[in-house]
A and B are shown apart, each in its own frame.
Chain A
Amino acid sequence: MAPVTVGVIIDIDEKRYAGHAGATPVTALRNLRARVAPSEFCVITGPSGCGKTTLLNLIAGLDRDFAGLVNFEPSPVPRIGYVFQSPRLLPWRTVRDNIALVLPRNADRAGLDALLTEIGLADAADAYPSRLSGGMARRAALARAFAIAPNLLLMDEPFLSLDAPAAERLRRLLLRLISTRPATVLFVTHDLAEAIDLADRILVLSAAPGRVVAEMPIAVPREKRREPEILATLRAELARLAGHPIEPCILNGAGVGSAVP
């Protein structure tokens, strides 16, 4: 059965982190409003510390302590596949068991094996996460998110700290998976080249407290985005919106520097 993807209506008035033990309280998000259409690939970018991870956690329901609302339509309860900034695999379970863990007990094992093969994990299925390379661990996290047949995917810099070719391969894999398993995607990255490569639409957040300061829909088909002139135009446009220039590097996607939420 094809899962019906969901739209997300984000209406956050304020998210504050109370300052414990004398620390000053921090407002992470304020007046952040956005609508994400069903099946849209929405990339969220912005300066470090602007609350991108916080936003995903609010949408995932991990943190309900905020003023405002996050709604989903048509189904009010989405099936969320979350790919975190680090793979967050259970070190004491094999790759296969890590993924089986999030499935219902009577889930179809053949489907899981097919997914593992598709994601390139068939040989690593019985390995413990400590044996995996960074790229393989991220594949496993991706497989776990897709295993539950999500209609909403939350991805928090999922290809951070991979070398450029590995990140590139995983981006291709992601697009391939999405094409056969439709889902709405909210993808956080601070790498503008990666944003251009993947997005239907890019939302640019301000520095903390984060809110949407610009948005850029990209109508150019993905295959054409690598043509030099088109790429240069898109980049210049995005850099202008994001308020800072992009380094003149070729599309590499490998995150540089730290991206603390």
Chain B
Amino acid sequence: MVGVPVSLAGRVVSLLSLLVAWQAAAWLVHSRLFPGAGAVLGTLAEEAIHGDLLHQLGATLARVTIAFALAMTIGTVIGIAMARSRTIDTLLDSGVVLLLNLPALVIAVLLYVWFGLTEAAAIGAVTLSKLPTVVVTLREGARTLDRDLGDMAKSFRLSTWRTLRHVVLPQLSPFFLIASRTGLALIWKIVLVVELLGRPDGIGYAIQVFFQLFDIRRLIAYALAFVAVVLAVEWGILQPLERRLTRWRR
């Protein structure tokens, strides 16, 4: 789960070499359909300042945030409930397996058909695609809760809230982190498909437009902006959070 942390210098070098290779390849191919790094980055800056890159990016990020929050919250509650109760587990298990194996595309199409090309349907589709993995991960986590620590809490008469906050949740935090990271990776991808199919804004919508116009420079610029945000969240939020939560291990 925890990768070896890459140093900042290492990251810069690897990023630069990627840019150089890209630029070199673009020179070799020399086609309007394969713009070089310089051209794309220029477009990126241009679109950010004068175009609607930020507007589209904001729309997508809003969807990602809402769907992520919904999937994590609902999934955690269902996962813990399934680990706690055999009845609930039996009742919901087939549903979880079904959702787990239903392609996100199918979920999106069905929700659009049933509820129209609405924001709720779009966010619902992303949430539903992500939900089962959260449920399964947290159920696994809640099943491995340490009984000895539970007994300790009980014998010292800790309140339910204290037990949850200090004994249960810390044990679940690695599972929560796994669910968050795999979850974001999944949601980033699905949200673009959902936007492409039925939303009038967002990065997915923009990519569809540029695809139809064969505007590959803008297409890559928008995708790149999106990837940059994803990496910023990963490096700026998730990894520091993980370090903080696992500090006691060292």
Q: How far is the CB of A122 from chain B (nearest CB, A)?
A: 20
A107 to B151, CA, bound (A): 23
Chain B residues whose CB sits within 8 angstroms of the CB of A84 once the complex forms? 148, 151-152
Interface membership of A171, Cβ < 8 A: no
A88 to B148, CA, bound (A): 7
Chain A residues whose CB sits within 8 angstroms of the CB of B167 once the complex forms? 90
Closest to A59 in B: B155
Closest to B154 in A: A62
Q: How far is the CB of B181 from chain A (nearest CB, A)?
A: 20
Chain B residues whose CB sits within 8 angstroms of the CB of A225 once the complex forms? none
Quick check: B249 and A130 within 8 Å, CB to CB?
Answer: yes
**Residues of B120-169 contacting chain A, CB below 8 A:** 148-149, 151-152, 154-156, 158, 162, 166-167
Chain A residues whose CB sits within 8 angstroms of the CB of B170 once the complex forms? 90, 92
Chain A residues whose CB sits within 8 angstroms of the CB of B114 once the complex forms? none
Quick check: A102 and B248 within 8 Å, CB to CB?
Answer: no
Quick check: A101 and B155 within 8 Å, CB to CB?
Answer: no
Chain B residues whose CB sits within 8 angstroms of the CB of A148 once the complex forms? 156
Quick check: B248 and A62 within 8 Å, CB to CB?
Answer: no
Interface membership of A165, Cβ < 8 A: no
Chain B residues whose CB sits within 8 angstroms of the CB of A82 once the complex forms? 152, 155-156
Closest to A101 in B: B166
User: Assuming the A-B contacts A91-B248, A92-B248, A93-B166, are A102 and B156 also in contact, with contact meaning beta carbons closer than 8 angstroms in the complex?
Assistant: yes
A154 to B154, CA, bound (A): 14
Most chain A CB within a 10 A radius of its CB, from B151, B152, B166: B152
Interface membership of A161, Cβ < 8 A: no
CB < 8 Å neighbour of A88 from B149, B158, B162, B166? B149
Closest to B245 in A: A92
Q: How far is the CB of B173 from chain A (nearest CB, A)?
A: 8
Interface residues of A (CB under 8 A from B): 57, 60-62, 80, 82, 84, 86, 88, 90-93, 101-102, 128, 130, 144, 148, 154
7 smallest beta-carbon distances between A and B, as pairs? A102-B156, A82-B155, A92-B248, A92-B170, A88-B152, A128-B248, A60-B155
Sampled A-B contacts (18; CB under 8 Å): A57-B151, A60-B155, A62-B155, A80-B155, A82-B156, A84-B148, A84-B151, A86-B148, A88-B148, A88-B152, A90-B149, A90-B166, A92-B170, A93-B166, A102-B156, A128-B248, A130-B248, A148-B156
